Amino acid sequence: MTPVQTRSIPFFNYPHLFTSEEEELVAIFRDVGRRGAFILQQDLERFERNLASYLGAKHVLGVANATDGLIIALRAAGFGSDPREEVIFSSHTMVATASAIHFAGGTPVPVECGLDHLIDPASVEAAITPRTRAILPTQLNGRTADMEALQDIARRHGLQILEDAAQALGSRFNGQGASTFGAAAAISFFPAKLLGCLGDGGCVVTNDDAVYDRLLQLHDHGRRADGEIISWGLNSRLDNLQAAILDYRLDSYPVAIQRRREVASLYQARLGEIEELTLPPAPTSAGRHFDVYQNYEIEAQRRDQLREHLKGRGIATIIQWGGKAVHQWPALGFTQRLPFTDALFERLLLLPMNLSLTDNEIHEVCDAIEDFYRG
């Protein structure tokens, strides 16, 4: 007999983001609303300061979303004068990484990822041409790329590094936080991201004062603090209300990371022996990587059947990016051939990984996967 299915396990529980702290959030809304503090107010400044100190970075600037953040970061780092300038990125990323390069005025060049699904340094090196100006690694799934290897390549070829750290707040490599390795980086506060707000939001991180000055202008109509317009600019500000919510959530963020790492350990303990699966690196504090598990991305044999099986048990999974790497979208016109990434995308699957999951639910997911391969 199949067990009675009492409820389903969604991939991400959006209402939980609000209902788990409803009273506190409504109190913040009331406070901000009564002060009329909607745009560029003290709550935003406080959040930017607190996040910078959490990251060990000099500057954090709230922006409307991480995609805008990447565009502005590239522009502030000097891109935009020549569309032939190439920026290398891993094709296993959101299309936003590539579109940011495109809209900043450059040419996005996709390369392979490695066994851990992050940008492969050897493929980066092989893709360098006389027009290459920067490497833009995506710190994917809450893990930071091998920044030692990338910084070495960048030094030898005179390239800049910028980071898509949309998925990597709190992730570290050799003890250094993702988003602090290059000229600038963007982090996302989209609801389903590690630190989610109640809508769109993001920030740019930089240790460079001159880059920060240009970021400030670019995100607010080219305005200087005294109101003088000194360049062309956009409107891409982080709402003060969202910043107030994010600042409140930042306090408990280390606990949230701990829970994500616990969930990863549970998956590892339950699924580690199944030969048909390849799991992400397990959480350790000893090695070079400190991972924060934005996602739990496995490789699975008979992936599509497994997905159907889980769906039948009320368990939702996702194939990241709608099932395609960036270079696989025909409309974008890429000509690069990336066989490793192509083969990988036949096997990739995201299991539920979020703060609403109970241990019992994780066991349910693991039971269902075990039944599929062993049943």
164 lines the binding site for ligand PLP (CB under 6 A): yes
Q: Per rule CB under 6 A, is residue 65 in the interface with ligand PLP?
A: yes
* 197: contact with ligand PLP by CB under 6 A: no
Strands 202-206 and 184-188, how do they pair?
A: antiparallel
With contacts defined by CB under 6 A, how many residues of the chain interact with ligand PLP?
Answer: 14
Cβ 67 to ligand PLP, closest distance in Å?
A: 3
278: left (phi over 0), alpha (psi -120 to 50) or beta: beta
d(CA 47, CA 155): 33
Could you give the CA distance from residue 127 to residue 102 in angstroms, rounded to a whole number? Answer: 18
Stretch that binds ligand PLP, among 60-68, 222-230, 245-253, 304-312 (CB under 6 A): 60-68
Residue 223: strand pairing partners: 229
- Three-point CA angle 261, 267, 270, nearest 5°: 140
> Can you tell me which of 17, 52, 61, 66 binds ligand PLP, judged by CB under 6 A?
66
Task: Work out how close the CB of 272 gets to ligand PLP at its nearest, in angstroms, rounded to a whole number.
Answer: 26
Q: Does position 188 bind ligand PLP by CB under 6 A?
A: yes
Any contact of residue 220 with ligand PLP (CB under 6 A)?
no
Among 97, 179, 236, 317, binds ligand PLP (CB under 6 A): 97
Residue 166 found at the interface with ligand PLP (CB under 6 A) = yes
Give how far Cα 222 sits from Cα of 71, 189, 218, 229, Å: 15, 24, 5, 5
Is-contact 240 43, C-beta < 8 A? Answer: yes
Site for ligand PLP, residues 326 to 365, rule: CB under 6 A: none
CB of 79 to ligand PLP, least distance (A): 17
Closest CB to ligand PLP among residues 186, 357: 186
Q: Does 162 bind ligand PLP (CB under 6 A)?
A: no
Tell me which residue of 165, 89, 176, 157 sits closest to 124, measured CA to CA.
89
What residue ranges in 150-265 does DSSP mark as E strands? 160-164, 172-173, 176-177, 184-188, 202-206
Q: Residue 138 interacts with ligand PLP (CB under 6 A)?
A: yes
Residue 96 binding ligand PLP, by CB under 6 A: yes
Does position 93 bind ligand PLP by CB under 6 A?
A: yes
CB of 132 to ligand PLP, least distance (A): 21
User: Contact, 142 vs 291, CB < 8 A?
Assistant: yes
Measure CA of the first residue to CA of the last residue in the chain; give whole Å.
14
Interaction of residue 94 with ligand PLP, rule CB under 6 A: yes
Could you tell me the strand order of the sheet in which 160-164 lies?
Answer: 59-63, 202-206, 184-188, 160-164, 132-135, 86-90, 107-111
Q: With binding defined as CB under 6 A, does residue 90 bind ligand PLP? A: no
Q: Nearer Cβ to ligand PLP, position 184 or 271? A: 184
Binding region for ligand PLP (CB under 6 A) = 65-67, 93-94, 96-97, 138, 164, 166-167, 188, 190, 202
